[in-house]
Amino acid sequence: MTAFPEQFLWGAASAAYQVEGGHDADGKGPSIWDLYAHLPGTTHEGTNGDLAADHYHRFKEDVALMAEQGLTSYRFSIAWTRLFPAGRGAVNPAGVAFYHALIDELLRHNIKPMITLYHWDLPQALQDIGGWESRETVDAFADYAELCYREFGAKAELWATFNETVVFIGMGYITGAHPPGVRDPARALQACHHVFLAHARAVQRFRELKQDGLVRHDAVIGFVNVLQPHASASDRPEDIAARALADGCFTHWFYDPVLRGEYPAELLQWAQEALGAPLFAPGDTELLKANLCDFIGVNYYKRELVAANPDVDNTRINTSGEKGSGREFGFRGLFKLVRNPSGEYTDWDWEIYPRGLTEGILQLKARYGNVPVYITENGLGAKDPIIDGEVVDDARIDYLARHLKAAADAIAAGADVRGYYPWSFTDLLSWLNGYQKQYGFVYIDRDNHLARQRKKSFFWYQEVIRSHGAGL
Ligand code: BGP
């Protein structure tokens, strides 16, 4: 017996900067990550994505492995700077050709592409004119999206505009750990507002081009968010209030605009009074309202326990992989994320809590109705053991199996979950943690010309796919 609907997609995920390499190949322009990762002290031991897994040159080998594993879908992102080296203006035909070749190779193996338009690698040329703080970037994004639809819209049916806005805005403009390295909540909220507008504009163009027959009639477009369910650390009223605030700031702020077309009203009022942002221009409200998602993508790794926070002011996270080295994360006066004393944790201090996937999806269903859901990321970051030359990633198998069962529970409870994309297909670059934090089904031997090697989990997932999840 399988709990998964017949059309359920068995995928795996990646993102351009983390896997492609070829950072300046064939006319590609620099992105903010190309520059940022080369600044001293920004990433784990100075690691960067210049070479990554060299998927740009080895995608055929990678797609052959996907086909061997049995994937029915593959989620990847397009590097904006390959298509528009300066973010707008002149198109780079070699970049367009690369994604055609990748997509054609996937289709040849009956693997459905799921295309993410933006997985954090903003063209540096647009950062230079203000990045997401500028409405010119919104215009440039709509044009970039349109080029993608015109080129690839007849081939791909699954599209997502943005990946994890809470992370690239939160880390880019509040904690300062991602580019552009700003620490200013008001600027964060304005940049974030522009991302929602860019999403809405891209959805609008998608539907126009679909109407014109340039995009497949069965194509759909969504937005990918972090799914991080929160629980209060105790039943003290202040912790319950802190949890509600965390839900508002981390979840509703990012889901409401794309699924309801508006911000959570109370929080918006608070932000505008306290910080003076986000500021709306005429037409913004209508634009958001008119362009809701066809589906929502959820990236689930962990849940968080939340407590009232009179004291902690820390936004640094564990990037070493030494369990217990992370400090409490919190915004003083608002809330903090605290360790669950009886919780199970990864070496990066992320709580392993499969039920959170079920709970989180059902919370979304309760708030937004039965919108189609794709689990666009889920996975275990670990330093995988190698025994007698084999990568024996039993911990990953255990993690994924338990989360797949949790996804099945959400489906049994009535949620419309349509696909599962573990992070990641091959090992790849972790933004701040380098290559030591592995997620893949396929090991990349960095000491041996990036040779690909199937891990134990590769064969495990192959069997899950073959049985359509029956043997879990
Ligand atoms: C998500 C991102 C991915 C990926 C993943 C794992 O937030 O969408 O790009 O990196 O998290 O995170 P990390 O690499 O920090 O372990």
Cα(226) to ligand 1 centroid in Å equals 10
**Model confidence at 328, in pLDDT bands (50, 70, 90)?**
confident
Q: What is the pLDDT of residues 73-84, one digit of tens each?
A: 999 999 999 999
Both structure tokens of 75: 């989620």
* Across 137-151, 203-217, 222-236, 305-319, least confident range: 305-319
**Model confidence at 144, in pLDDT bands (50, 70, 90)?**
very high
* pLDDT value of position 320: 83
Domains and their CATH numbers in the chain:
9-466 (3.20.20.80)
CA nearest neighbour of 297 among 338, 332, 254, 242: 254
Q: What is the pLDDT of residues 80-108, one digit of tens each?
A: 999 999 999 999 999 999 999 999 999 99
How many Cβ atoms are within 10 Å of 96's Cβ, its own excluded?
18
Instruction: Kindly provide the b/e burial profile for residues 389-411, where b requires at least 16 CB atoms within 10 angstroms of the residue's own CB.
Output: eebebebbbebbbebbbbbbbbb
CA distance 23 to 11: 26
Residues framing ligand 1 (Cβ under 6 A): 15, 18, 163-164, 167, 299, 377, 381, 423, 430-431, 433, 437
State yes or no: 144 annotated in a binding site.
no
State yes or no: 443 annotated in a binding site.
no
Cα(85) to ligand 1 centroid in Å equals 25
151 belongs to the catalytic site: no
CA distance 367 to 262: 13
Cα(118) to ligand 1 centroid in Å equals 14
90: CB partners within 8 A, 6+ apart: 84
CA distance 64 to 327: 42
Surface-to-core class of residue 413, CB atoms within 10 Å of its CB (0-12 exposed, 13-18 middle, 19+ buried): exposed
Q: Report yes or no: 14 and 79 within 8 Å, Cβ to Cβ.
A: no
State yes or no: 301 annotated in a binding site.
yes
CA distance 230 to 36: 31
Helix runs in 352-393, H state only: 355-368
Closest ligand 1 atom, residue 350 Cα: 16
CA distance 208 to 206: 5
Q: Report yes or no: 81 and 24 within 8 Å, Cβ to Cβ.
A: no
Residue closest by Cα to atom 10 of ligand 1: 430
Describe the strand order of the beta sheet including 220-226 as a list of residue ranges. Answer: 9-10, 417-420, 373-377, 295-299, 220-226, 158-163, 112-118, 73-77
Residue closest by Cα to atom 6 of ligand 1: 430
Closest ligand 1 atom, residue 163 Cα: 8
CA distance 217 to 240: 45
Mean pLDDT to the nearest integer, 425-438: 97
Angle between the N-to-C axes of helices 185-211 and 135-152, in degrees from 0 to 180, rounded to the nearest 10: 30
Both structure tokens of 227: 């799914």
Q: Name residue 214's amino acid.
A: L
Mean pLDDT to the nearest integer, 234-257: 97
Q: Which of 105, 157, 164, 304 is catalytic?
A: 164
CA distance 409 to 365: 14
Residue closest by Cα to atom 9 of ligand 1: 15
- pTM score, two decimals? 0.98
Closest ligand 1 atom, residue 437 Cα: 16
CA nearest neighbour of 85 among 144, 149, 38: 144
Both structure tokens of 340: 């669950």
* pLDDT value of position 321: 85
CA distance 407 to 419: 10
Q: Name residue 216's amino acid.
A: R
Cα(352) to ligand 1 centroid in Å equals 15
Q: What percent of the chain has pLDDT over 70?
A: 100
Size of the chain, expressed as the number of residues it contains: 472
Cα(52) to ligand 1 centroid in Å equals 14
pLDDT at 326 over 80: no
